[in-house]
Chain A
Amino acid sequence: MKKSKTKMKQSFGDRMVGVCCYIIFILCALVCVYPFYYIFINTISANDLSARGVILFWPQGIHFKNYVSALQIDGLFQATFISVSRTVIGTVCTVGASAFLGFMFTQDVWHRKLWYRMMVATMYFNAGIIPWYLTMMNLHLTNNFWGYILPAIVSPFNVILTKTFVESVPRELQEAAEIDGAGTMTIFTRIMVPVIKPIMATVAIFSAVNQWNAFQDTLLLMTNTKLYSLQFILYQYLNQASSLKALANSSSGGNSLAAAASTAQTATSVRMTVTIIVVVPIMLVYPIFQKYFVKGIMVGAVKG
């Protein structure tokens, strides 16, 4: 990071430090990348080879039938629908609520400080999962899609993020609008929202990743298989090796006998294919929006 303009000759010891760093970080990168690569090459390799675990470094017998067959697996389409729905609806709700609250907590609201403290305090305690579960049950939010959305709408961390950002916006902007007779809601929608878009993007990314990755709420709240998320379905696949095989065979239809060993579904191929389906959205989103993540953690570090 430190760019020294004057190129000094490096001593032997300094060069050794450099070489060691490169070796260590190449290893680190490999350890992080290889598992994903390993699973991917297995999903596009011949299924009889991947089931024996002989695919290690490059794909063999390349075919893409696994991804076609995955579409026919019972429940997988429904789970994808649930995961996408909760990610989209949940993100829209959280972003809207965070932007609105972040703005309102800078306004002259009756007992503002008290309400703000009441919200922030929830970051530091929780009643425990069983009381939470029983609450959700009393509210009829178990086996209910809104059980995924409602508890996530107000997230103190995201509100603090937006509030900090709103506070950095020059006060004159609002005052000018007030002189022109704009009400608080008009100021929020017309003046504030366009200005705080960057932080809204950050909140959107955080919230979308959280919703997509959520597993525990399905585990606790949902027994109706129609409401299972992709994460939960994947977890079930990992734990039901035997039933998975039956599922895999039925999904390839009546002609499973005719299907060549290299493309017939195996427990391994189904598992790995679903894993890739679950991880791809993250892989696509993450590198593009990395700067928003980093901005989020840095602003979050400066507490509200």
Chain B
Amino acid sequence: MDANTITSPVLLVALLIPLIGAIGVMIKGYNENLREAISCVASLFLLASVGWLIRPVLGGKILVLDLFTIVDGVSVTLRADAMSMIFALVASSLWTIAVFYSMGYMRGLREHAQTRFNACFAIAIFGAIGVAFSDNLFTMYLFYEIVSVCTYPLVAHHQDKEGYDGGRKYLVYLTFTAKAFLLPAMILIYVLTGSLDFATNIASGIIPADTGKGLVIMLYVFCLFGFAKNGIMPFHHWLPGAMVAPTPVSALLHAVAVVKVGVFCTTRVMLYVFGIDLMADLNLGVPTAYFVGFTIIAASIIALSKDNLKARLAYSTVSQLSYIIMGVALLTPAAIQGGLIHIVNHAFAKITLFFCAGAIYVAAHRKDISDMEGLGKVMPFTFGAFAVASLSMIGAPPVAGFVTKWNLLVGSVEAHQIGIVLILLASTLLNAAYFAPITLRAFFGKRPASAGVSGIKEAPLSMLIPILIACTISVIIGIYPGFMMQFVTAVIGGMQ
């Protein structure tokens, strides 16, 4: 432990706040207002405690906290460094926004079992924060599995056949990959190194130098597919299936918490278990980039064919997640920066898009894009926000997505991968092709006589305000990317 490592109980406080919130929600579930007040307060406390960690982490400190030791080298230990802060800040700030939004949504639709919904929501955030703050592979695996299990009730929320089918697919994909790939990979790494702790920089990794090449490649592939929440094809089917969930779930969990847990784990393991030196030595990076490049293109093409708005957004998520992994896999400083910052940029933009989808459903009860012609005129704020967030997805300035695309393009040129540049350009065109028509048709489409828009107005303010906040942040981090970039720069600090 070097001088920059300090023990901090704040990590435990931050971790436990959502859990305590969940317990509070369960106890006070009979009182609607009190229950939601607990969620709100918990989310604000979480945001504050994660915010408290910003200063020391930017000061170059690594905060750690040992909780349990299972056997020597395997422990439950928390760590906050620059990389964990990227994800923790995103998850905690978006939880705050989503809590307000889901209040409006769930009440607006008079959904059943709202107590269970709120409690599981909070436990999912507990898992996400745990993943963000994990100091070793075991802790990460623990919280990763907690997220899998406690989001099942959210996916199957409607308790109809569709809900159960989606939920089953969800659990089957996620637990199968975790057990079949992640578990053996983790145990093998333990057998090889005697420890599961992450390295403290992104260069060295923890795999011993004399490990056989074939074994390392096997471990790497296991890790890539083991975290199936990252949505890499062919293990992505759970994500579109999970869209049967209520929209706040799709928004927070399937644009932020669950899928970002997947990519965060994947990139964390790539950088801090394998390390960029080893990945470069064994030439693992570039093939990975091309492999996920296929997911980027294929998912975009599938998205084009979807008329259901949430399904289109889901495939868009599958595609966008791979940007993050592609960036890190290219192993050049700019590409890693572009990949990691996309965790933030995609989160804010995609949550806005899902929030809009939910608002449209609550206000107009419409799910299909073809039914949305002309809706923009009666719901200008919702579709305005949708348009801005779409621009971020496409990567147009000044919205956040531009920062990602810029860095990724610079990074792939630095890596001399023209193929990747072409993939990025093609996917940008595809993004535009499946996002632009939605806004265009909403504002300028000719509405068919059968589907009038009279009587439809904007969703309640408790939904509209979170939409506008998320959308505004997307613009702000596009114009001033500096604040979040500090963390990303700190992650790759060793490379420059």
Q: Are both chains from one complex?
A: no
